[in-house]
Amino acid sequence: MGISSTEPAIIQSLQWRCYRLPLRAGFTTSQGALAVRYGAVIYATLRDGQKGIGEVAPLPFHEWSVLQRAMDAASELAANLVGRPVEQGLLYLNRCALSHRFHASLLCGVDMALLDALGQHWNRSLASVLAASPDASSTSAVQPTSVLVNAVIAEDNLADSVRTAGLVATAGFRCVKMKVGIQRPVEREIELVRAVRDCIGPDLELRLDANGAWSLSDATTVLNGCAPYHIQYAEQPLPVSAGLPEMRALRQRTRVPLAWDETVVDLSSARRVLAGEVADVLVIKPQVVGGLRMSRQIIQEAATHGVECVLTSSIESGIGIAATLQLASALPEIHLACGLGTLPLLANDLIHEALPVRSGFISVPQTSGLGVTLDEQALTSYQVLSMP
């Protein structure tokens, strides 16, 4: 990790508790309306007594069986890590992410927890730890203290979309992401986008996220129809099953920049997209690609190809959001608004500290490690021990 300490940071134990967090209101995507997030909190304890927390938040987030699959091998992973120095443990997690030995979200949660514990061990913020160059004993630059985030419009009709657009515009957001891919015929999507653009005015950035709902023909129709409304980018306009030739064809048929989210599930898939020259933006979810440091590697490699990256949540609690804020703060390659303003969707954020959005920014916690503390009482209220 590039930072030395006189006392070795040895992993003493890894433990976990699963939760079921209701959403405050239905969250509608092209895949339907979702009402609950299942996940787990990881506890990493070091031999010196420092304790870190992380979060396992797999996708799809509303299915208990998905969390079960992610956590099935947690005991095996813990057995391979306990007794190791944290730095060795982190290298092991990287190897596991590259080989897909464990579920990516499990690796992500343990990665977060170990980095949180290590940051506390060194009395450094997680951003400071992540920003350190491999052969340096200090960070290369001062990290920003806040991260620009986008608002989300996830309504299934024009009236509600315009109402939400008005609310986010008056709240001071500088970037809005619309969930699309829901309307039929697809020409109705263009009407919806026009109405939202009219509501928010010309100065706010507007993104579209189709969650892979369109065919090549429909994506071409909608994006060319929306081009006059100054779209920052269109996220996952084609399904994951679309190959590089289709992705390249769409890029040639529209001037709307293209971003790929669900297509990027690990380092190798990111490299395929970059080598294929089919992306203007990559949307990176640490829970999907295997952790904060794997996300960092993808973002840094994308920058060498001239491709921007956006960090976004998987609808996690405050633990996952705080960790991704720290990562965004650590990386000078992050220039665009990140998709991290999702905590209001959940009934509880499971942390004591508040992470509010103010004028389109979230402040990055500045204390050591993750910078937030687990609300154990809240976790107990939402804990699940077996399938509901």
Q: Which residues belong to the active site?
A: 179, 285
CA distance 323 to 317: 10
Residue 258's identity, in one-letter code, is L
Sign, CA dihedral 300-130-312-195, equals: negative
Strand pairing partners for 132?
A: 139
From 30, 32, 31, 103, select the one nearest 66 (Cα to Cα).
103
Strand residue runs (E) in 238-312: 258-260, 281-284, 308-311
Within 55-139, residue ranges assigned H as helices are 64-71, 74-81, 86-99, 104-122, 126-131
**DSSP category for residue 34:** E
Pairing relationship of beta strands 231-235 and 258-260 according to DSSP bridges: parallel
Pairing relationship of beta strands 151-153 and 175-179 according to DSSP bridges: parallel
The residue behind tokens 């990290």 is: 143
Q: Specify whether the CB–CB gap between 314 and 108 falls below 8 A.
A: no
CA distance 88 to 174: 41
Q: Taking each helix axis from N to C terminus, what angle separates 104-122 and 318-330, rounded to the nearest 10 degrees?
A: 70
From 150, 151, 232, 220, select the one nearest 190 (Cα to Cα).
220
Strand residue runs (E) in 135-200: 146-148, 151-153, 175-179
**DSSP category for residue 142:** P
Q: Taking each helix axis from N to C terminus, what angle separates 267-276 and 244-253, rounded to the nearest 10 degrees?
A: 50
CA distance 83 to 236: 42
